[in-house]
Amino acid sequence: MQDIKWGIIGCGDVTEVKSGPAFNKVPHSSLIAVMRRDAVKAQDYASRHGVPKWYSNAADLINDPEINAIYIATPPLQHEEYTLQALAAGKPVYVEKPMTLNAASAKRMADAAIHYGVKLTVAHYRREQPMFLKIKAMLDEQLIGDIRFVQLQMLQPKSTDLIASSATNWRIDPAISGGGLFHDLAPHQLDLMLYYFGAVKRSSGIAIHQDGLHTADDLVTGQILFDQGVVFNGTWCFTVAESNQADSCEIYGAKGKISFPVFGSKITVTLDGAVQEYPFEPLQHVQQPMIAKVVDYFLDKGPNPCSAEDALQSMQLLDSFTIF
């Protein structure tokens, strides 16, 4: 392959700006076709985004000989099924986060990639954004000294949806999403912790349903002990008052602290009593840096930016926080 010619399965809200247009903006990459079970919506997406082909059946897109890579952007319920179909067809896959419904399903996907000898990457795209790369550089150079612990809070009122809107709000249906809003948002945060601090020694958590409006957990707490001795404490609650809304991650070291919102665009470093801020411009297409790395990987020009094995660890953490 000299160029990646993409087909998207599931051209919903998340693909409108965050990912879809980026496939035509990355060198050696173009978007050839999209698929959605609703043919009218698939055709509309293709027309609005200048995509040459559209399908209402995933198998037809996967078997299109012009397409040589598949991006799966459906709700998590379909991730495993479509990933296995694409891998069996010999086409590399870029699949949305969370990787799938649970760790057992993620393991089957990872095993299938090995079995078929076909590449699989998971869309933990914050790994390649400038702000989070800057944080990793700060940690690698030990700007705040040896890391002691991490404190994360994601507190949202019921009216807030940080990722994307949906008419049926499938994100709070565990049968489709794997859980609730925790399963939608926490993969971003937990993957960053794995990216920064490596292997996990042990983890546990508590998940409960307090509000009564739907079946998904709306309060989750979790703890992680990393092999290198860093301790992580996280709290996710999606029914707080608007005045208590928070998106905060604080990394404490022997010399100071790095603070940042996972869904924001500013790093604050406190070191020896001095505070310095590092603002970042929001990206037009948040997945574009990651897609560039995926294209390089699929073309044998670079490493896998987030392997199935990497993402499996995130799924294991989600399970350890929510399954007792």
Residue 33's nearest CA partner among 10, 3, 1 is: 10
The one-letter amino acid at 247? D
pLDDT tens-place string over residues 186-201: 999 999 999 999 999 9
pLDDT tens-place string over residues 142-160: 999 999 999 999 999 986 6
Q: What does the pLDDT read at residue 158? A: 85
242: exposed, middle or buried (Cβ count in 10 Å: 0-12, 13-18, 19+): exposed
The mean pLDDT value for 6-24 works out to 96
Q: Is residue 137 pLDDT above 90, yes or no?
A: yes
Task: Measure Cα distances from 105 to 100, 111, 128 in Å.
Answer: 6, 10, 25
Q: Which residue has the tokens 């299109």?
A: 64
Residue 113 is encoded by which pair of tokens?
A: 């990639």
> Which string of DSSP letters, residue by residue, matches 93-152?
EEEPSS-SSSHHHHHHHHHHHHHHT--EEE--GGGGSHHHHHHHHHHHTTTT-SEEEEEE
Decide: helix, strand or coil at residue 43: helix
Q: Is residue 166 pLDDT above 50, yes or no?
A: no
Q: For domain 130-281, is the CATH number 3.30.360.10?
A: yes
**Which residue ranges make up each domain of the chain?**
4-126+286-305, 130-281
Residue 287 is encoded by which pair of tokens?
A: 């997945």
Q: What does the pLDDT read at residue 167? A: 47
Q: Is residue 27 pLDDT above 50, yes or no?
A: yes
CATH number of 4-126+286-305: 3.40.50.720
- Are 122 and 308 in contact, with CB atoms under 8 Å apart? yes
Instruction: Report which of residues 161 and 230 the model is more confident about.
Output: 230
Residue 25's nearest CA partner among 280, 285, 282 is: 285
The mean pLDDT value for 27-48 works out to 97
Instruction: Report which of residues 226 and 1 the model is more confident about.
Output: 226
pLDDT tens-place string over residues 259-271: 999 999 999 999 9
Q: What does the pLDDT read at residue 9? A: 98
Q: What does the pLDDT read at residue 115? A: 98
> Per-residue confidence at 86, pLDDT binned at 50, 70, 90?
very high
